[in-house]
Copies of this chain bind each other. A is one copy, B any other.
Amino acid sequence: MTAKKLAAATAAPVEMPDEADQALRFEKARAAQASALLEDYVELIDDLLASGGEARPTDIARRLGVSHATAIKSIARLKREGLATSKLYRGVFLTPEGHSLAARVRARHRLVVDLLIAVGVPRQCAELDAEGIEHHVSDAALAAFARFLKRHSTAS
């Protein structure tokens, strides 16, 4: 290992980031990925409740493109984590925590779409990509997005 480090120090053409930093980056990305599913569910449920009235497992499943069995299991997880409630054959509802998460998630989703469009991404494409991107945008980045949009919408 000593030999290898020396060789790297003398002949390395590429600089690597610090090991610990890099590990933290990947760990953060994995964590975001783990909550992505929950975020999409609460956002969708909140949309359904706001738009029509009911958020039924079958509707949720259809909109997410998964089987109803899968949706029901994920809804069970939402309940386990205190984000949703449901009564047999009565549809799904959000707890206050679920509702406030949904609000944050929706605001972030919109901001991401708007930023993508502002830098020139076609609307359709922006909406496609945002669905995945949103889960990895930190609050600091979000704030920067908001500043950018304000700057560039007033300067029409």
By a beta-carbon cutoff of 8 Å, the part of chain A in contact with chain B is 4, 7-8, 12-16, 19, 22-29, 32-33, 36, 40, 47-48, 50-54, 62-66, 115-116, 119-122, 125-129, 131-133, 135-138, 140-141, 144-145, 147-148
Contacts and interface: CB of A to CB of B under 8 A. Distances in A.
Contact of A144 (B16, B40, B120): B120
Given A25-B128, A121-B141, 18 more contacts: A4-B54, A7-B53, A12-B52, A16-B48, A16-B51, A16-B52, A19-B62, A23-B62, A28-B128, A28-B131, A28-B132, A33-B33, A119-B119, A129-B136, A129-B137, A129-B141, A132-B136, A133-B136
Contacts of A40: 26, 29
A59 to B, nearest CB: 8
A148 B118 CA distance: 10
